[in-house]
Amino acid sequence: MLKVKLARFGKKNQPHFRIVVNEARDKRDGSYVAILGHYIPSSVIKVLEIKLAEYKEWLAKGAQPTETVASLVKKFESGNPFPERKPQLSKKAKAKQAEAKEAAAAPQAEEVAPEAPAEA
């Protein structure tokens, strides 16, 4: 049975993957029938390139994609596979920000409340 899967290449801690068609029982990085694209997750801007026409041909021939490849293809077909993320504050930064808001709100509350005149 043929599978469409990722074959790992690249240096230690710097992986890049080829999207290949090979026999299901073959080794992950072993020989393959066809290369359908590549995926580089570790670069600053992630790279994903897939030849969709060939991919669909292999699916028609009976090749089964792995879960990972299927999700990557779905992202690729969406047009924007890796949208930019908005920067988010860490838990510490959020706690500091909340503390600063509380500190700023506390003195204002004291100033707003007029003191009652003391009767002597």
pLDDT tens, N- to C-terminus, the chain (120 residues): 999 999 999 999 999 999 999 998 988 888 899 999 999 998 888 899 999 999 999 999 999 999 999 999 999 998 888 878 788 889 999 999 999 988 888 766 555 556 666 665
Q: What is the pLDDT of residue 28?
A: 87
**Share of the chain residues as helix, strand and coil, in percent rounded to the nearest 5:** 35, 30, 35
N-term to C-term CA, the chain: 97
How many other C-beta atoms can be found within 10 angstroms of the C-beta atom of residue 65?
Answer: 19
How far apart CA 120 and CA 114 sit, in angstroms, is 18
* Paired tokens of 98: 């909340």
Topology of domain 2-77, per CATH? S16 Ribosomal Protein; Chain: A; (3.30.1320)
